Every structure is written in structure tokens, then in C-alpha cells.
Structure 1
Amino acid sequence: MKTFKRILLFLLLGIGVLVYLNYPKLNMISGYAAKYMASSVLIGGHATKYVATTDLDMPLIDLASTEFDEKNKVAKASVYGLMERTTIDRQGLGTVLTNEKYPTDASYLQPNRNFKKVDKPYPYGHLPPKDTVFKEIDYDLLQKAVALPFSKPKLQKTRTLAILYKGHLIHEEYVDGFDKDTPILGWSMTKSVLATCFGILEKNGKIQSHWPAPIPEWQDDERSAITLNHLLRMQSGLEWSEDYTRISDVTKMLFLDPDMTQAQRVKKAVAKPGEKWNYSSGTTNLLSGILRQQFRSPQAYLDFLYARFIDKIGAHSMLIEADLEGNYVGSSYGWASTRDWGRIGQLYLDRGQWNGEELFKPEWVDYITRPTALSNGTYGAHFWLNAQGKYPDVPKDLFSMNGFQGQYVFIVPSKDLVVVRTGLAEYPDFDINGFLSTLVRAIN
């Protein structure tokens, strides 16, 4: 009996230590579960059971118990009853985690949208895509290529695929529960969307990338040398930890901060601007705050993204979620259908031209695809690159929008290609090089 009591005591102590060490993480776990459940139901259009058994079935997150109140559009999650978090819906701004300082019925602004449809075939309009046959395409090899992302469904977890060639949709495919209209969370693909706003501002003479970052509290120390270019290239030299496996700068920002534009803003310099490349979601949300500073009112800020970019190209399914203070969470929370993610890729393939209008200068594409020092040729300005052959059998002019769990928009100018792939797995489970190399070989 004494031995049994000792064992039980050690077990209880062990459990106590585990709870003590991991208790702060519960806030992040329940926050992730509540936020993702709410957005997946209200924006993605999925059933709660489906979300719980697929998207939330991942290490640590699966510890959370999540419930969704359809009538009030509220999601709640906790871990064994601890650290309950609540997510509410705000029309036009998506869903947001609340805290005790922000009442669930607080008033808020929402962006004005223009959902006018254009009488042109997709991607330049909203009519069905043209059924076009290209003599330079090896369609047998194309079929082999498009089968690859779906060949091992339990491992690759591909959900949707769309391929555009010379502005024509030549293939699209969806697993059950998804179709051409289903909004999908792009995660960090949203960074490229936010950055595009700076290309539009630059085209209209509102900003220039070499300008100092307009942060008043930086002007009296070494951070005064940080430019917009440094921020767009993740070269600010500011302290930041992008680690999703623990409590870090990025997890605190996404699941605790009411104003996500501040997380990077208050960090100290650990290197001179340009001396270090450090991928930072905080930097993108800082840029969202800087974008907001360019407008006279919060309403003008909210409207700009859609009026001058998203709705302009007809990507009407897209929604960029905002934090509690009404700032677009440009680092992570952009939703759009597979076809609408494809429209953005096509805009970049067309170097800023859309139905006869120039949204940003062609030189902006040259800028965002110029390799950033110390990134090993993998990063430009909020876009990922293949400049040093990360994908060895794919053209080096490929650039892309990348997101967590394998969300991709690949743009391959030398092949006139835009490829959208979404899912729940990335490399090495999803072989990007094998898929893309087969695809590009199909185009002679």
C-alpha cells in the first residue's frame, strides 16, 4: 500500500508539473481552436463536426473542446475546462477573439464592398471559363501532373487545385466539401495581399519603398534607419520569434493582442537594418498599421484594400479579417475561393494590368521578385522565390504566395502559368518539386 501511495504521489506531482509548465499554452490552444472554428463555419461554410475532426485534429490543438453557437455566431473553446476563449463575428471583418475589455456588442466599422460582376470569362470576369485547347500542351502529361497532388490523400491532404495558362483555366479539382466558391484560409499568403497595397500606393505616388518607416517612437534611436523596403523584405533587424510550437512573439500576437500592429513596433533592434533576414508575421501587421496611417480615417483604410485591389479584380469571395482595433491581420487571416486566389496570381503574371487598367506598375513585380540578401534566394518582398533553385526542376523565375499547411499560389512567368493549391499538408508530405516539374514539362 505504501508503494502504491508513493507511485500515486509521484504521478500527481508529475501531472502538477506538466499543468504548471503548459498552463500558459492553454490560452493559445483554446484561442486557436475558437478562432479557427468560428471562421471556418462562418466564412468557409463548413460544419462544426467537420472542422473539429479535420482542421483542428492536430497536435495540442486537439486537446481543446470547441462549441459553436449558430444563433449568436459565437465559438468557445477550452482545454479540460481551463482557459476558455470566445470568438465573435463582425460583419465584413470576419471573426475575432475577444477579451474582458472588449464587450461582444461593441460597435465597429466595416468595409464598403462593390460586388459588381464583370461580363467576361474567368479569371478576368465572372462568366464561366473558356473551354480552350492549346496545341503546345501535352494533355496526357498534364493529367499525370494534376493527379499527383491527390495521389496520396491521407498524406498530402490536398483540397483544391486550379491551373491557369495564358489567362485560361485549364484544370480545377476539388475534394468533397469544397468547390469553386468555397473560401479557403490562405494563412501567410495574406502577407502578399497586404504587400500589394504598397505597390498600389507606390504606383499612385503615395509612398516609396526607400522612405523611412513612419514610426515616431523609432526616430530617436537606431530604428530610425529602418525603411519600408527593410520591412517588406523582413530585414528590419528587429527582435522577433516566429515559433508556433511554443509561447512566442507570433503566438502572443495572434491569440492575445487586441492591436496586432504593435507587436513588432515595440521590439528592440538586434541588428542593423539589412544585416539580418528574419521572417516575421509581426512585421506584416506593422505594415498593416503603416498602411492605415496613409488614410485620413479608419473607414478609408478599410475601404482601400477592396476598392483599389480586391473588388477591382473581382475577387469578391475574399475577406481579410481584422483584429479588435480594426486593423487588417495581413500576416495570416485572408480568406478567398481557389479561383479568387488565382485571380491575384494572374494579376501578378500580367504585371499589374487588369482589364485595361494598371493597378500597380510592372516594376513592382521586378521589385518583389528581386532576391533579398541573406534569404538564400528564397525571399523577395513578401513573396517567396525559386531564384536559387529551391525547386530544382522548376523554372527559377517562379515566385509564390505561401501559407501554413501548404497553401500556395505559384506564378511561373516563363510558362505563363498560375497554380493554386490548398490543403492541410506541405513539404515533404506534398512534393512541390515533383508536381510542378511534371506540370511545366507538359507545356512545350
Structure 2
Amino acid sequence: MFPRPASLIALVLATTSLAACGSPGPAEEPPLSEEALAAVTENPGAPTKALAREVDDLFRMEGLGETRALIVMHDGAIAAERYGEDYDENTRFVSWSMAKTVTALMIGQLVGDGLLRLDQPAPVPRWQRSGDPRADITLRHLLQMRSGLEHTEAGSPPYESSEVRMLFLDGRDDMADYATAQPPEAEPGEKFEYSSNTTVILAGIAARVLSDAEHPEARRRAVSDYLSARLFEPLGATSMVPEFDRAGTLIGGSLMHASARDWAKLGELMRRKGSHRGEQLVPRSWIAEMVRPSPRSPQYGLQTWLNRPTGEEEHPLFPDRAPHSAFSMIGHMGQYVFVSPEQGLTVVRLGHSNAPEREAMLQQLADIVELYPAEGR
């Protein structure tokens, strides 16, 4: 083997160096703004710059809709918090269907008090008439959206929707009466059908067990006082404002208002299995029931969405990107309180996204979640 001339070796090295200089390499990410960095706290539990960038993308990327509030909580402390223009920590945000999960928490407290039973026929007077097949509908059926009642959640045109008719048209003055009047279309427990009207039935049941009075104001006050004394005040969720219909029934499937921080407190309560500062506000066993898959819908528990795979391509969450033990409150137009106990994580996203935007936004939300390792807590 002959030695190579020094000049040839130098030429080869120089050529290689020049080629390397000409290669594009990985694109540099733009610098983070002060606003992006300010959203992340001192000890966020994830790489600060990576978290700041993912949060910033959620607010700034096109095609995701409008994010109005975001809170990331890790191990009980705020890791990141940011608001859109004209919104802040004092703004009350509408729940839409996130209210369903809050209604289920209340039902769980009533079960814990011995006022209701999960697997007994639902105490709806109209259904107790002789020969009425709806008499077999249990509280569990209602909570798991398996009542078998005739229902169309989203219709085209919108006024064909059972939910729209209940909220805004012929059922608006007495929503529970409208919802309980619907005929059966399937055997109780036979199939899953998502229904905001079903949650109003649950709210009507709560009003009846908390008050013997028929007067709307008495019904409203009984439920409002119970929620305040047993849930909102002990939790420190003082911004919560539930809405009621003219008959005094909680609009438990759609309309509660609260700050982003108070929505986060509700998520944290569930992450801690119903406990808050040493006090068991909701029975631990009830939280376990809420996040147990229904026999007819692996992605749904008791008024709560689950991050369990269904075998279908479409999914309300992202089971391929977060632990299957995770769960979420979900509301219309992209309201989420996502909870992952294995990651010690609660993420609140509030805003306005249409269907295609919501799908893309959810993946961006998953980018934030993936910054936190699952530790099997």
C-alpha cells in the first residue's frame, strides 16, 4: 500500500469540508417570543423551551381555530398558562358538554349520600306507569348514554336535532319533561347514543331527590346550594355559574360557566380520585366508575370520555399518543379538560374550533401531552 501525497489528502479534506458547508442541515426553529416563554412557569416538569413552543403553536398556528385559554398542570402545580386576546384568568368560559361530567360528579355525591342507587331503575315518575318499558332504565344506563330513548343529537337542518329542540324550541321551558317524554327506540342498555337530553334527565332526578317542592325557584336553589356546598366551594371553584331552565332544572348537559383555573380544579379533583386537600369530596369508588368503559362504548364511561382505543379511525381523543388510562371532559367547539393520571397531568384548552380545526387542534394538544413521560402513578 503506497502512502498518499500530503497535497492530495489536503485536497480531499478541503472538498469534503466545502460539501458539508453547502448542505442544508436541519432547519433552525424561529426564536421564541417573550410572550411564549412567559407562559411557562419556573419548574414545568418538561423542557421549558419545548413546552413554550408547543403552547405557542396552539395559539398561533393556522387551521386550529381560536384558542382562548390554556392551562397545563403537572403534579398539582401550574406548568403553563396562557390566554388569547381579550381573555384572562377571570374570564368565565362556557362548558358546553363538559357540564355533563360535572353533573355526573354531583350524581356520584348523591349516590354516596344514599339518595340514589346506580343499578336501580331511575326515579322518573312518568316511567313508573304500568307497562311502560322505560321503567327498566337504570341510573347507570342514563350515565353511560344507554337509555334506549329516541334521540338525534345533531340534525340537519339543526332544528331537527333533539338537543336543539330541547334547548331552544318546544322543550326549552321544561327540558327534563321534554327529555323524559321521548319514546323508547331500543332496549335499555342495548346501545350507546350520545345525548345531551339524557344528562338533563339526570339533572331533573337530582332536583327531585334534593327537594320535594315543585316551584322552579325551590328546585333551582336546592341543586345550586348542593353544588356550591358539596363541590364548588370546598374545591375553591368560586367562579362556577350553572344555568337552569324555567322549570328550575339544571341544564346539566350543556351550560355551566367557569374560569379556566376552575375547570382545571375539577380536572385535578378527578385526577386525585375525588380528593381535595385531604377531604374526599366525591367517593373514590365513584371516580373509578366514571372512568370505567361502558360495555357498549370503550371510549365512554359515566358522562366522561375515555382515551381507550375503539378499533375505529375516528376518536374523540388520541389513544395512540397518551396512556389509555387518560380521560377528558369534552365540550362543543373544542373545550377540553384532559386528565392523565399516569403523567400527573391536567390540561385545559378552551376556545372555538370547527370540526376540521378541532381534529388538527387535538393533535397539537397531544404534542403538549407527549412532553410528559408516563410514570405509572
Q: Equivalences for 1:393-404 in 2 at 5 Å?
A: 393-404=321-332
Q: 1:418 is matched with which residue: 333, 338, 346?
A: 346
Q: Which moved more, 1:295-304 or 1:332-341?
A: 295-304
Q: Which moved more, 1:150-159 or 1:305-314?
A: 150-159
Cα distance, 1:432–1:386 mapped onto 2, change above 3 Å: farther
Aligned to 1:133: 43
Q: 1:180 aligns with which of 89, 112, 124?
A: 89
Cα displacement (A) at 1:383? 0.5
Residue of structure 1 in register with 2:271 after alignment:
349
In 2, the alpha carbon distance for the partners of 1:440 and 1:407 equals 16
Between 280-289 and 210-219, report the one with greater CA deviation.
210-219
Deviations 1:158-205 (A, max 9, x none): 111011111101101111110001001111111111111011112222
Mapped to 2, the partners of 1:432 and 1:364 lie a distance apart of 31
Query: Which of 254, 258, 271 is 2:173 aligned to?
Result: 258
1:140: Cα distance to partner? 2.6
Structure 1 position 157, deviation (Å):
1.1
| C-alpha distance in 2 between matches for 1:441 and 1:222 | 47
Match of 1:218 in 2: 127
From 44, 50, 70, give the equivalent of 1:161: 70
Partner of 2:370: 441
* Amino acid aligned to 1:223: R
Deviates more, 1:366-375 or 1:408-417: 366-375
Deviation at 1:210, TM superposition (A): 0.7
Q: CA-to-partner distance for each residue in 1:317-341, whole Å, 9 max, x for gaps?
A: 1101111111111111110011111
**Contact in 1 for aligned 2:321/2:370 (Cα 8 Å):** no
User: Is 1:362 aligned to 2:284, yes or no?
Assistant: yes
- Shift of residue 435 of structure 1? 2.4
Matched residue type, 1:156: G
1:155 deviation in Å? Answer: 4.3
Root-mean-square deviation over aligned CA pairs = 2.0
SS in 1 for 2:120: coil
3-state SS in 1 of match to 2:249: coil
Aligned residues: 314
Conserved? CA contact 1:240–1:264, under 8 Å: no
Match of 1:386 in 2: 307
Query: Given that residues 63 and 357 in structure 2 are in contact (C-alpha distance below 8 angstroms), is that contact kept between their aligned partners in structure 1?
Result: no
Q: Distance in 2 between matches of 1:211 and 1:241?
A: 26
Counterpart of 1:170 in structure 2 is 79
Q: Separation in 2 of the partners of 1:366 and 1:180?
A: 30
1:339 to 258, 261, 265: 261
Equivalent in the alignment of 1:194 = 103
Query: d(CA) in 1 for partners of 2:155 and 2:234?
Result: 34
The residue number in structure 1 matching 2:337 is: 409
Structure 1 gap segments, 5+ residues each: 1-129
Q: What secondary structure sits across from 2:71 in the alignment? A: strand
What displacement does 1:152 show?
2.2
Distance of aligned partners of 1:159 and 1:153 in 2 relative to their CA distance in 1, 3 Å threshold: farther
Check whether the contact 1:368–1:381 (CA below 8 A) recurs between aligned residues.
yes
Partner of 1:209: 118
User: 1:284, 1:313 → 2: CA distance?
Assistant: 23
What is the CA–CA distance in structure 1 between the aligned matches of 2:187 and 2:299, rounded to whole Å?
21
What are the equivalent positions in structure 2 for 1:11-410 lying under 5 Å apart?
A: 133=43, 137-152=46-61, 155-219=64-128, 220=130, 221-243=132-154, 245=156, 246-247=158-159, 248-256=161-169, 257-296=172-211, 297=213, 298=219, 299-375=221-297, 377-388=298-309, 390=315, 391=318, 392-410=320-338
CA contact (8 A) 1:161 1:338 kept: yes
Q: What code does the residue aligned with 2:191 have?
A: K
Deviation at 1:432, TM superposition (A): 4.6
Where 1:285 maps in the other structure, the secondary structure is: helix
Instruction: Identify which range, 235-244 or 148-157, moves more after superposition.
Output: 148-157
* 1:15-62 CA-partner distances (Å, limit 9, x unpaired): xxxxxxxxxxxxxxxxxxxxxxxxxxxxxxxxxxxxxxxxxxxxxxxx
Q: Distance in 1 between matches of 2:180 and 2:327?
A: 28
Change (3 A) 1:139 1:279: same
Residue 267 of structure 1 and its aligned partner are, at CA, apart by: 1.0
Structure number with greater Rg is 2
Q: Distance in 1 between matches of 2:73 and 2:355?
A: 23
How far does residue 404 in structure 1 lie from its aligned partner after superposition? Answer: 0.7
TM normalised by structure 1 equals 0.67
- Once residues 403 and 174 of structure 1 are traced to their aligned partners in structure 2, the CA distance between those partners, rounded to angstroms, is 18
Give me the identity figure in percent: 36
Deviations along 1:243-282, whole A, 9 cap, x unmatched? 2542232111101220111122011111111111111111
Is 1:393–1:433's contact at 8 Å kept on the other side of the alignment? no
Corresponding letter in the other structure for 1:358: Q
Q: Tell me if the contact between 1:394 and 1:436 (Cα under 8 Å) persists in the aligned partners.
A: no
What do residues 72-116 of structure 1 show as CA deviations (whole Å, max 9, x unaligned)? xxxxxxxxxxxxxxxxxxxxxxxxxxxxxxxxxxxxxxxxxxxxx
Runs of 4+ in structure 1 deviating by more than 4 angstroms, as ranges, are none
Change (3 A) 1:199 1:372: same
Q: Which runs of 5+ in 2 are unaligned?
A: 1-39, 214-218
Maintained 8 Å contact 1:241/1:249: yes
Shift of 1:132: 5.2
